[in-house]
Amino acid sequence: MGAQPEVQLAVSSVSKHFGGVRAVEGIGLSVRCGELISIIGPNGAGKTSFLNMISGFYRPDTGSIMFEGRDITGERPSRIAALGIARTFQNIALFSGMTVLDNIMLGRHVRMKAGVLSSFIYWGLAQKEEVTNRARVEELVEFLELEDLRKQPTSGLAYGLRKRVELARALALDPKLLLLDEPMGGMNQEEKEDMARFILDVNQQWGTTIILIEHDMAVVMDISDRVAVLDRGRKIADGSPGEVQGNADVIRAYLGTAKDRQEVAAA
């Protein structure tokens, strides 16, 4: 057997409380380079709060988060993005008055080194950087099959296409770790299949590590290397899709009891 890929992200005993509400309670998770891991759980299980701590939008009350050996616990989102962690959001966060191309270009801003002053003094350098970044954005437009929409305002796009643009904007960062918060939420079956294909390609062809929150269990079980299950702020299972499917605690969290599961299966 070959050597296991190294751990890229190590989350140790993180907790986050909001007043008396324990959104996340002592969760640990290790993610290896190139892994695609899904985080599932009932509504209110703490999934988005967990991603918010990794991406810097929440500061953990306890615990630590290490990325490629660097402690990023409580770092600013901009700093975490610059280190190579990108994310999408449960609610689409595009600039509706801007075109598809311009929205994706915004995702390149942390990769741009020329500031306003240097752009004025060294116009040629800034122009070269602009051309390079625009070329990368065009690659993403082609990869996500958005060629015919590049000049359209995102406000006029169908919901599934807007989700695709948001994925493109996150990918414009050229992330080492991609955090996806319900990227298929609200989509029809055809749109889900397209998005699942794109996510798999990003993971398998580009080697990007992915942490995915998703409610569609068929998708989760089909594309994930590993599945972690949260319930009421705690991690109750972590393993292969097959292991998690048969876990009694997971069945209880979703359906109450094994008997309930049998009744649902028989219905």
Angle (CA) 244-248-249 rounded to 5° is 85
- CA-based nearest residue to 204, from 227, 228, 225: 225
- Tokens, residue 28: 């640990």
The strand pair at 226-231 and 36-40 is best described as: parallel
Scanning the chain, the segments in alpha helix (DSSP H) are 47-54, 77-82, 100-106, 116-121, 123-143, 159-171, 189-206, 217-223, 241-245, 248-255, 258-266
CATH of residue 236's domain is 3.40.50.300
Strands 177-181 and 36-40: unpaired
The residue among 109, 133, 165 that closes a domain is 165
Could you give the percent of the chain with pLDDT greater than 90? 63
Burial category of 205 from C-beta neighbours within 10 Å (exposed 0-12, middle 13-18, buried 19 and up): exposed
pTM to 2 decimal places: 0.86
Within a domain: 78: yes
User: Are 34 and 70 part of one and the same domain?
Assistant: yes
One domain, residues 71 and 183: yes
Q: Which of 165, 188, 210 is the last residue of a domain?
A: 165
With 80 as the cut, is the pLDDT of residue 9 above it? yes
**1: in domain:** no
Same domain for 124 and 250? no
Confidence of residue 113 (pLDDT cuts 50, 70, 90): low
Same domain, 159 and 239: no
Q: How far apart are CA 42 and CA 19, in angstroms?
A: 21
Domain-embedded: residue 170 = no
Tokens of 216: 């569609």
Least confident of 67-81, 127-141, 230-244: 127-141
If asked whether residues 179 and 259 sit together in one domain, one would say yes
- pLDDT-derived band at 221 (thresholds 50, 70, 90) equals very high
Nearest to 211 by CA among 16, 91, 3, 33: 33
Helix-strand-coil split of the chain, %, nearest 5: 45, 25, 30
221 vs 108, more confident: 221
Rounded CA separation 135/35 (Å): 28
Say how many domains are in the chain: 2
| pLDDT tens digits along 128-154 | 666 778 888 999 999 999 999 989 998
Q: Residue 255's pLDDT is what?
A: 66
130 and 25 in a common domain: no
Within a domain: residue 147? yes
pLDDT at 121: 47
| 2: pLDDT strictly greater than 60 | no
Task: Tell which of 116, 144, 165 closes a domain.
Answer: 165
**Would you say residue 33 lies in a domain?**
yes
Mean pLDDT for the stretch of residues 83-89 = 92
Residues 29, 149: one domain? no
23, 16 Cβ separation under 8 angstroms: yes
pLDDT at 25: 96
Domain extent for 141: 99-165
Amino acid in the structure at residue 57: F
Nearest 5°: phi and psi at 69?
80, 0
